[in-house]
Amino acid sequence: MSQLPPPDAAFVQVRDLKRVFDVSKPWLNRVLEHAPKQYLKAVDGVSFDIRKGETFALVGESGSGKSTVARMVVGLLPPSGGTVSIAGISMNDVAVAQERQRMRRRIQMIFQDPYASLNPRWRVGRIIAEPIRAFDIIEGEGDITARIGELLTLVGLHPDDAKKFPHEFSGGQRQRIAIARALASNAEFIVCDEPTSALDVSVQAQILNLMRDLQQKFGLTYLFISHNLAVVRHMATRIGVMYLGRLVEVSEGKQLFSAPRHPYTRMLLDAVPDLAMVGKAREGVKGEIPNPINPPSGCTFHPRCPLAFDRCKVENPAVIDGVACHAVNGDRAAAA
């Protein structure tokens, strides 16, 4: 039996997580065209910790690997390398399969599209009851119905909504249903993959406030995936910035917004509209993410980086004090 981690230990530990996809053409095409196999490194050596009860956010442009990390953490996608441990239980170790299965009821995921993630042929009550029945949490139809009503009320809906189908609700209401389903298994760790990006701005605020209230009430731990820095600023305790499958900066939320260190982080923050109109000179993100099948050598950000120098083109920077950048960590990296 695996032992629980001490109270000050990380609840979620991700170490050197990797995911490689085979994107080669079919065998016959490769033979006729004399083409080699091609591989895409979607995630390349990502490591981070999430403490109990906090929100750790992953941000970055589309194609940076955020959602791939999320799916590997919850077990929807097997990693090509690295490990994921939750509450001291390895999610990759076959020897602890029974403990891993018990852990799965404590993990849930909220997806980006609140309609596609709900079965359109099922009534809301059946959707929310699915994890309750799958994990044998409650026995007896009467008790299950009562629990469904409690969960709907908890997320701001009415118990009578259990009789309706998903298409009868707005986008924000459907996301509330998805949150109720996530809570149905008494989850402790919830991975939120762009949970508000498909919603109007006013509805986004309502859903985010609901998620924060539920976190405080039940002590939930969130892994929050987003490209919207305003949303991340509102939600995150700590933030990891991803670029082309790698973490380039990890920092406390307030510190990252007040004093960003990596050039990519600064570019992302400069792209946020200046609502305060302070008149500060701003420069948006230049260029686009390179082709991940054939990424640049060395630091993959160097073709877009204003601080790049010769070393950046040949050597991938290590993460030192939460930042992976030769220009920022030049002296310390050289000394090491």
Q: Is 169 inside a domain boundary?
A: no
Exposed, middle or buried, 109 (CB in 10 Å: 0-12/13-18/19+)? Answer: buried
Lowest-pLDDT choice from 30-39, 91-100, 202-211, 250-259: 91-100
- By three-state DSSP, how is residue 196 classified? coil
CB 242 within 8 A of CB 57: no
- The residue-averaged pLDDT of 148-170 equals 96
Would you place residue 6 in the very low, low, confident or very high pLDDT band (cuts 50, 70, 90)? very low
Q: Is 41 inside a domain boundary?
A: yes
**In this prediction, what percent of the chain has a pLDDT beyond 90?**
62
> Which residues touch 204 (CB under 8 Å, ≥6 apart)?
196, 231
CB 49 within 8 A of CB 77: no
CB 322 within 8 A of CB 250: yes
Q: Is 146 inside a domain boundary?
A: no
User: Residue 323: beta bridge partners?
Assistant: 249, 320
Q: Is 69 inside a domain boundary?
A: yes
pLDDT of the residue at 52: 93
Q: Is 145 inside a domain boundary?
A: no
Q: Specify the length of the chain in residues.
A: 336
Q: Is 178 inside a domain boundary?
A: no
Q: Is 261 inside a domain boundary?
A: yes
Q: Is 173 inside a domain boundary?
A: no
Instruction: Work out how many domains the chain is built from and give that number.
Output: 1
pLDDT digits (tens, 9 = 90+) for 99-128: 767 778 889 999 988 888 899 999 999 999
Would you place residue 5 in the very low, low, confident or very high pLDDT band (cuts 50, 70, 90)? very low
Domain containing residue 258: CATH number: 3.40.50.300
Winning range, highest mean pLDDT, from 120-134, 272-286, 318-332:
120-134
Exposed, middle or buried, 212 (CB in 10 Å: 0-12/13-18/19+)? Answer: middle
pLDDT of the residue at 334: 42
Count of beta carbons in the 10 Å neighbourhood of residue 120: 10
**In this prediction, what percent of the chain has a pLDDT beyond 70?**
90
Q: What is the CA radius of gyration of the chain?
A: 22
Winning range, highest mean pLDDT, from 82-91, 148-157, 292-301:
148-157
pLDDT digits (tens, 9 = 90+) for 72-101: 999 889 999 999 999 888 887 655 667 767
Q: Are strands 221-225 and 55-59 parallel, antiparallel or unpaired?
A: parallel
Range of the domain at 306: 12-106+188-335
**Does the pLDDT at position 336 exceed 80?**
no
- Per the model's pLDDT, the better-predicted residue between 114 and 195 turns out to be 195
pLDDT digits (tens, 9 = 90+) for 213-245: 999 999 999 999 998 888 898 899 999 999 999
Per-residue burial over 213-251, b = 16 or more CB atoms within 10 Å of its CB, e = otherwise: ebbeeeebbbbbbbbebebbbbbbbbbbbbbbbbbbbbb
> Which residues touch 203 (CB under 8 Å, ≥6 apart)?
170, 171, 172, 196
Q: Give me the phi and psi of 39, to 5 degrees please.
A: -125, 145
